[in-house]
Structures are given as structure tokens and as C-alpha cells.
């Protein structure tokens, strides 16, 4: 029985004596190393197997998984694993076409960067940003390393000086000024060139590493070769090999075998080929001229820059520059123009006008003067003022007169307001759009003189204190309208001369102005029934539609001072008075037009006239003036 157990034990233990083993070495201490085999047992870096040959699978963190075949009879059995590369992701803000270099090698595809463990220097560059430089430290394995980089814009202040001063500075071939000079650089690579006549050109590339303000000094080296150029006239532009070098007189360096071009406005270009011998030139520039054909209607004298050159019509050789040309003829407005006859066969054709024709052309039909008063321009014409003896509403003082108005004149669209009159009085009291009343004829006339002076016009009235001495009949200043002008703007442009502003019939069938309406029946004995204009007393200007000539309040609101002295002189109907100003003297002045208390046909007629000189609550005024 014992023998039987011994035989069984021998069968079980006998393979132990046939097992082979080998020690496995590692090239480095691999982290997390895992070694496996399908034909051997590995315990503590020792491999056990029955056969001489065995295989191993080795895997470690950060290394490629590898397969090895060993033989127990070999002297060395070493596991060597290959490193896995680390993916490096670099995110740059702003996202531009930047350049990445790692260990001075440009990365072709920044999205596919794989590096093995170690330290690397890298840079990120773009022309408009400071170059970013740093170190990538890959001491341990990671599956992916992400870097986030913020680029800083280039904005570096440079203070540049030179010896000597006054050197021209070019930044990337563009002139930016003369030394000493302060400027900013906005790119990380910049080419600076300094030039100064008599000195050698100096060029330098400036790489920007930071945005700290920096002072740069250059000392220029004198040039051995100098070319001197003088022109008559001076201040001509000089180009050497198509590069601008300055204005004459000038000294040029680095000039030999160059091509010289001299230009000046109004003169022909001069081209010179320089050689190794000539060192100075004194040139007289030739004027560039154009043949100019000049005509005027009528013929006139011609002056160029105040110099007489001839009489039109004619052909003249004029320099190709801007110049003043003046045409003069007695009794005509002098015409001045600026011409620039750059082309050949230049043509000038002008029409001259008399002084009066020129003033008329320059005067708009409507204008606003310095106090906001709208003025309406009237052409000359003929007017028969007064009323015929068979007119039923007629007053005996409405004598007939034939007046020819020979001059264009302005008349104010509206009556003068309190606001406007208070500017004359230099007070702001009670300023509004109501027409001024309660002023004497003298006050109204002095207002006209004040307004004329304000606008640099000739004053019409001559006073000694409050006494009228005379008129200035040649004045273009403000004045009161004449009686003829007042009726002219009331009656003209009608199919026939109306008796009233609304026609010949006494009946009023539309709103024609601020007169004595239903609202005044408690105050006035006489008023117009079935008529309401909306105002009991004065109404603001522009409250009613203007008449056919664009003038307001010729009927109603306030009666008006006019220029004429009052009289009832009888003049033959065949006598035509020219620009009649009224009698030369008198104690009262004519008052024209109706007012807010007017109701009877006599007062509402266009020819109605009364007189006075003192203040009256029912009387205001408007202004007029001749334009020549």
C-alpha cells in the first residue's frame, strides 16, 4: 500500500524537475506594467515554462503594447517598450492664420501636434500681434494636453531721434515724418529707413518683442557725393529715380547715374539724366501755357492778376495755373472769376450786366432779413392811385394821380411786430407776434434807419433830433412805403383795379381780414353783421391769407403809416409822376388802409386815406426799400 502512494506522488512531482525559468529585465521602470503569457507563468519578473521558448505580452501606461519571444537559453531577456506620443492642442485667441514653431521648426498643421515626453520651446506669431513664447513641459504622459493662448496686439510707441535732426522717416516705404518723431508700430516686423540730403540712407528692421515705449537713436553718416540743384522759380518738386527727394534749392546724395525729374505747378516738367561729372545745376523752368479764347458780351477789358492783357474778343496764351481773370467795362458790373486753363484751346464766354441788372439778378423774389422779416420783391410798374369821382364810397381827398414806379423794391409781407420793434428799442418787454401800434410816424421812420444801419445799407431818412430834414432818394435802405407803392401792391396783378380787396361789390362774402365784426358790437356803434373773423382787437401776423401779391393785412388789423406828407394837391391826370415820394414838406403824414374797428365802405376801400403824425392805437407800419 505504501508503495502505491509513493508511485502516485512520484508521478505528480516529477514535472517539477523539468520546469525552466528566466529573469526578465526592464529597460526602464514602466508605470503600471502588466506582463502576460499564453505559454509561461510570470511571477515577480521571472518567467516559468516547460519549453525553452516562451512569449510575453507587455503593456504599460504611456507606452505601446508589445509582443516578445524569448528563449531560456539566451543570456539576456529585456523588455523595451515604445513611448506613445502626447497630443497637444493649442487654442489661440483671436483665431487667425498664425504660425506655430516648436524647437524652431514650423508646424505645418497646428491641429495635429504630437510630442513625446520632454521639454519643448514654442512660439506663436502673427504680423499684428506680439510673438508669444513659452515652454511645453511633458514630464509625464497624458493623453492630451490643451493650451489656451491669448495674443496681445502690437502697439508700441517709438520715440525716434537722429543726428542730424530733420531726417525723413519711412515706415515700410511710407513717409511718416521728420526726426525727432514719435509714432506707433502696429506690426511685429517693421522696416525703418532714414534719409537726409547730404547723408547716406540708413535702413533697419525692427522686430517688436513687447509694447513698452522705446527710444531709438540713429547717427547718420555723411555722404561723400553731393549734387546741388537750384531752380527759378524755387520750390519745385524733385524726384530722383521716381522717388521724391524735396523742394528746390536742394542738395542730393546718392545721385550718380540717376534720372532726375523736376516738377512745379504751372511749369513744364524737366527731365535730366545725371552722370558722374555734373555736381550742380541752375535751371530756369519754362511756363506751361494754354491758348485761351475769350469773348464777352459786350466787349470788355481783360485783367489777369490785376494786369491788363487786352480786350475781348481775342486769343491769349495763359499759364496753366489757377488765376483771377477780371472783365471791366464802364457802366457794367465788374466780373471776376477764377480759371485754371489746364487744357489747350480753353474757351471763356461771359455776359456782362449793368450794375442794376446784376442787383436784380441777385435779389430773390422772397427773402428773410436780419430780424426775421419776410420781404417780397416787386417789379417796376404803373399805378393810378386814388379813386374816380363816380365811385360811391369815395372820399374827397382820394385825388387821382398817375405814378410810374421805375425801380424794383421790396415790401415787408407783414406789419412790424412788437417783438421786432423791441429790438430797435433794445428791450424784451411785451415781445410777441402782434403788430406794433401806438407809435408815431417819426418812431417808425427811425426804426427804418436803425434797420438800415444794422444791415449796412444807406439810411433813407435824415433827422435833426425828431425833425425830418430830408430824404436820401438814392438810398437802398429801409423806409416806409410810399402811398403809390402801397396801392400798387394792393391793386396790381388784378384783372381790373378793385375798389376793395375782395372786388367791386360792397358785400363781404368771405373772410378778408381783421375788421369790425360781430365780436365788436358791444364796443362799437358800427360793425359788420354776419361777419366773424375771430379777433376783437389786433390779430397776430399771418392770421389771414395774403393778397394776390403775397402781402398780409392790407385790409384790417391796423391802418399803416406811409412815407408821404399828407396833402390834397390836384395834379393833371396826364402828368405821370416818377417814383413819387409825396410832397416835400407838411405837418402830417398819410395813413393808409383799414383796421380792426373799420366797418363802413369808405374805410374799407383800397384808396382810403387819412392823416396824422402822433401815436395811435389803430396805426402800425410795414417797411419797404429800393434795391438800387
pLDDT in tens, 347-366: 999 999 999 999 999 999 99
Average pLDDT over residues 212-220: 93
Shared domain check, 59 and 91: no
Looking at every residue in the chain, the average pLDDT score rounds to 92
Shared domain check, 502 and 374: yes
Shared domain check, 541 and 500: yes
Shared domain check, 589 and 516: yes
In the chain, % of residues over pLDDT 90: 75
| Structure-derived torsion over alpha carbons of residues 610, 614, 617, 618, reported in degrees to the nearest 10 | 10
CATH number at residue 395: 3.90.1580.10
Shared domain check, 327 and 371: no
Shared domain check, 176 and 67: no
Q: Give the pLDDT confidence score for residue 74 in this predicted structure.
A: 87
Q: Residue 318 forms beta bridges with which residues?
A: 290
In the predicted structure, residue 73 carries a pLDDT above the cut 80 = yes
In the predicted structure, residue 234 carries a pLDDT above the cut 70 = yes
Sheet holding 609-612, edge to edge: 609-612, 589-592, 559-565, 619-620
CATH number at residue 21: 2.60.40
Shared domain check, 335 and 195: no
546: in domain: yes
Q: Give the pLDDT confidence score for residue 224 in this predicted structure.
A: 75
This model's pTM is above 0.75: no
Shared domain check, 304 and 247: no
In 3D, which of 353, 318, 311, 314 has the Cα closest to residue 332?
353
Shared domain check, 409 and 534: yes
Q: How many domains does the chain have?
A: 6
361: in domain: no
The C-alpha atoms of residue 36 and residue 413 are separated, in whole angstroms, by 116
The 10s digit of each residue's pLDDT in 369-402 is: 999 999 999 999 999 999 998 898 999 999 999 9
DSSP-derived 3-state class of residue 271: strand
Per the structure, the complete domain to which residue 92 belongs is given by: 86-150
In the predicted structure, residue 256 carries a pLDDT above the cut 90 = no
357: in domain: no
In the predicted structure, residue 150 carries a pLDDT above the cut 60 = yes
The 10s digit of each residue's pLDDT in 569-617 is: 888 878 999 999 999 999 999 999 999 999 999 999 999 999 999 999 9
In the predicted structure, residue 15 carries a pLDDT above the cut 60 = no
Domain boundary among 79, 112, 142: 79
Domain boundary among 39, 62, 79: 79
Q: What does the H/E/C string look like for 178-217?
A: ECCEEEEECCCEEEEEEECCCECCEEEEEECCCCCCEEEE
Shared domain check, 531 and 496: yes
Domain boundary among 79, 96, 131: 79
In the predicted structure, residue 318 carries a pLDDT above the cut 50 = yes
Helix (H) or strand (E) holding 137: strand 129-138
Shared domain check, 617 and 527: yes
Average pLDDT over residues 140-148: 89
For residue 8, name the pLDDT band (cuts at 50, 70, 90): low
425: in domain: yes
359: in domain: no
Q: Give the pLDDT confidence score for residue 3 in this predicted structure.
A: 47
Q: Residue 71 forms beta bridges with which residues?
A: 53
275: in domain: yes
Shared domain check, 315 and 214: no
Q: Give the pLDDT confidence score for residue 200 in this predicted structure.
A: 84
Amino acid at each position: 500500500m505504501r508503495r502505491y502512494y509513493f508511485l502516485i506522488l512520484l508521478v505528480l512531482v516529477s514535472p517539477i524537475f523539468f520546469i525552466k525559468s528566466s529573469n526578465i529585465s526592464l529597460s526602464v521602470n514602466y508605470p503600471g506594467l502588466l506582463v502576460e503569457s499564453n505559454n509561461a507563468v510570470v511571477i515577480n519578473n521571472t518567467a516559468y515554462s516547460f519549453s525553452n521558448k516562451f512569449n510575453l505580452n507587455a503593456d504599460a501606461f504611456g507606452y505601446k503594447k508589445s509582443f516578445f519571444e524569448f528563449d531560456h537559453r539566451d543570456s539576456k531577456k529585456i523588455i523595451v517598450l515604445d513611448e506613445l506620443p502626447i497630443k497637444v492642442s493649442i487654442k489661440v485667441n483671436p483665431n487667425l492664420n498664425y504660425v506655430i514653431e516648436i524647437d524652431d521648426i514650423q508646424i505645418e498643421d497646428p491641429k495635429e501636434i504630437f510630442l513625446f515626453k520632454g521639454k519643448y520651446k514654442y512660439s506663436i506669431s502673427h504680423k499684428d500681434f506680439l510673438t508669444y513664447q513659452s515652454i511645453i513641459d511633458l514630464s509625464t504622459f497624458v493623453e492630451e494636453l490643451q493650451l489656451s493662448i491669448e495674443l496681445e496686439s502690437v502697439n508700441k510707441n517709438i520715440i525716434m531721434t537722429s543726428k542730424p535732426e530733420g531726417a525723413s522717416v519711412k515706415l515700410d516705404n511710407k513717409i511718416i515724418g521728420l526726426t525727432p518723431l514719435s509714432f506707433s508700430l502696429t506690426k511685429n516686423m517693421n522696416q525703418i529707413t532714414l534719409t537726409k540730403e547730404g547723408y547716406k540712407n540708413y535702413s533697419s528692421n525692427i522686430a517688436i518683442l513687447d509694447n513698452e515705449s522705446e527710444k531709438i537713436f540713429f547717427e547718420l553718416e555723411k555722404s561723400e557725393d553731393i549734387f546741388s540743384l537750384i531752380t527759378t522759380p524755387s520750390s519745385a518738386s524733385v524726384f530722383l529715380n521716381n522717388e521724391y527727394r524735396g523742394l528746390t534749392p536742394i542738395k542730393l546724395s546718392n545721385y550718380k547715374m540717376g534720372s532726375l525729374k523736376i516738377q512745379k505747378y504751372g511749369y513744364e516738367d524737366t527731365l535730366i539724366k545725371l552722370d558722374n561729372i555734373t555736381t550742380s545745376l541752375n535751371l530756369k523752368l519754362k511756363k506751361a501755357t494754354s491758348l485761351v479764347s475769350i469773348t464777352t458780351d459786350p466787349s470788355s477789358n481783360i485783367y489777369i492778376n490785376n494786369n491788363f492783357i487786352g480786350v475781348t474778343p481775342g486769343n491769349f496764351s495763359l499759364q496753366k495755373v489757377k488765376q483771377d481773370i477780371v472783365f471791366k467795362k464802364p457802366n457794367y458790373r465788374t466780373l471776376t472769376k477764377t480759371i485754371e486753363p489746364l487744357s489747350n484751346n480753353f474757351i471763356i464766354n461771359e455776359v456782362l450786366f449793368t450794375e442794376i441788372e446784376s442787383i436784380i439778378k441777385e435779389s430773390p423774389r422772397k427773402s428773410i432779413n436780419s430780424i426775421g422779416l419776410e420781404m417780397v420783391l416787386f417789379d417796376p410798374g404803373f399805378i393810378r392811385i386814388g379813386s374816380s369821382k363816380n365811385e360811391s364810397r369815395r372820399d374827397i381827398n382820394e385825388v387821382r394821380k398817375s405814378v410810374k414806379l421805375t425801380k424794383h423794391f421790396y415790401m415787408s409781407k407783414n406789419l412790424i411786430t412788437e417783438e421786432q420793434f423791441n429790438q430797435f428799442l433794445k428791450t424784451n418787454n411785451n415781445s410777441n407776434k402782434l403788430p406794433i401800434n401806438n407809435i408815431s410816424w417819426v418812431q417808425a421812420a427811425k426804426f427804418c434807419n436803425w434797420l438800415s444801419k444794422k444791415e449796412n445799407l444807406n439810411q433813407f431818412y435824415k433827422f435833426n433830433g425828431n425833425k425830418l430834414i430830408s430824404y436820401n432818394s438814392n438810398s437802398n435802405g429801409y423806409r416806409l412805403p410810399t402811398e403809390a407803392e402801397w396801392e400798387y401792391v394792393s391793386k396790381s396783378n388784378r384783372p381790373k383795379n378793385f375798389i376793395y380787396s375782395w372786388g367791386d361789390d360792397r358785400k363781404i362774402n368771405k373772410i378778408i381780414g381783421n375788421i369790425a365784426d360781430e365780436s365788436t358790437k358791444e364796443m362799437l356803434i358800427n360793425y359788420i353783421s354776419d361777419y366773424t373773423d375771430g379777433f376783437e382787437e389786433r390779430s397776430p401776423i399771418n392770421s389771414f391769407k395774403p393778397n394776390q401779391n403775397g402781402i398780409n393785412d392790407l385790409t384790417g388789423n391796423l391802418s399803416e403809416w406811409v412815407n408821404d406828407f399828407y396833402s390834397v394837391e390836384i395834379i393833371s391826370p396826364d402828368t405821370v409822376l416818377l417814383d413819387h415820394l409825396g410832397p416835400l414838406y407838411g405837418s402830417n403824414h398819410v395813413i393808409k388802409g383799414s383796421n380792426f374797428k373799420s366797418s363802413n365802405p369808405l374805410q374799407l376801400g383800397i384808396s382810403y386815406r387819412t392823416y396824422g403824425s402822433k401815436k395811435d392805437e389803430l396805426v402800425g407800419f410795414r417797411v419797404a426799400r429800393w434795391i438800387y
